[in-house]
Amino acid sequence: MDPAAQALDQSFSGASDDFPALLRRRGLLAAVPTAGSVTANSAWVPTEATTILAFKFQGGVLVAGDRRATAGNTVVFDRADKVLEIDRHSIMAIAGVPATAWEMARVLEHSFQFFRRTQLQEMSVDGKVRALSKLLRDNFGFVLQGVGVVVPIFATYDSGADPSARLYFYDAMGAQFEVTDYAATGSGSPAVRGILFYENTWGKKPLLKLTEDEAVTVALRALDTAAESDTATGGVDRNAKIFPVIKIVCRDGITTLPEKRIAALFKRSVA
């Protein structure tokens, strides 16, 4: 038998092998990066975005995110927008790889618009929640390769038979969990969840009874605290005057808080 053919035959001897695996062993195809191989010391590290939070208060659902995007231990961008409007009553906040998350947000936005224009009505909240879940499931192949993980928060207002604000968080596989009070994801989320739990349980008021100014103050304090222990969280940049993006969704739609107001509340109640 020809030596090349014999080597090829030996390469196929493993029953579990597939053609791409054969090409990789022969040096004809680059290895697929894995979660363990993509590290801060690799030649390429995916850009990631953290930290996001959301909680219900008197006026609806407040959603906030810091502005920092990192690759390993490098700050790639300090003005990233992680709180995205999907339609008139829906917000998607992103933690993970921004390129993937922003594309998911665009797909969701177009899907909701298409449904509204063809069916002459809004998509149901359950439909919106499952649409995002499907996008996450479809992306799971990239998650396994360590290059496309996204863990979002979804907030919306349900104007159906029982009008109410709705809040969900997801895992990387697309499982959705509806929460009654608050949610946080990203590398700084452990500190944020601790603060929100404390405020909701032992604070002067439960989160649901906070006014808008009080809710914004809690969000700013949570993100600023997370930034103290997590280098991937930007918090509030006092020197560059960079503040988190904060949006509120309620019966009347979505409101984006102006930076001047956030800065005034931060100076008065946090700094």
- C-alpha 249/C-alpha 128 separation (Å) is 15
Q: Is the pLDDT of residue 43 over 80?
A: no
Q: 202 in a domain, yes or no? A: yes
* pLDDT score of 40: 45
157 touches 165 (CB < 8 A) = yes
136-186 per-position pLDDT tens digit? 999 998 888 878 899 999 999 998 878 899 999 999 999 999 999 999 999
pTM beyond 0.85: the answer is no
Q: 25 in a domain, yes or no? A: no
204-243 per-position pLDDT tens digit? 999 999 999 999 999 999 999 999 999 999 989 988 899 9
Q: 222 in a domain, yes or no? A: yes
33-42 per-position pLDDT tens digit? 554 554 444 4
Query: Which residue numbers are catalytic?
Result: 50
Q: 252 in a domain, yes or no? A: yes
Domain holding 58: CATH number? 3.60.20.10
Phi, psi of 103 (to 5 degrees): -65, -40
Q: 130 in a domain, yes or no? A: yes
Q: 111 in a domain, yes or no? A: yes
Q: 36 in a domain, yes or no? A: no
Q: 13 in a domain, yes or no? A: no
Residue for token pair 């829906």: 90
Integer angstrom CA distances of residue 181 from 102, 134, 137, 156: 26, 25, 26, 14
Query: What tokens does 55 get?
Result: 């909680």
Q: Which residues pair with 69 in a beta bridge?
A: 49, 77
> How many domains are contained in the chain?
1
Give the structural domain span for 202: 48-269
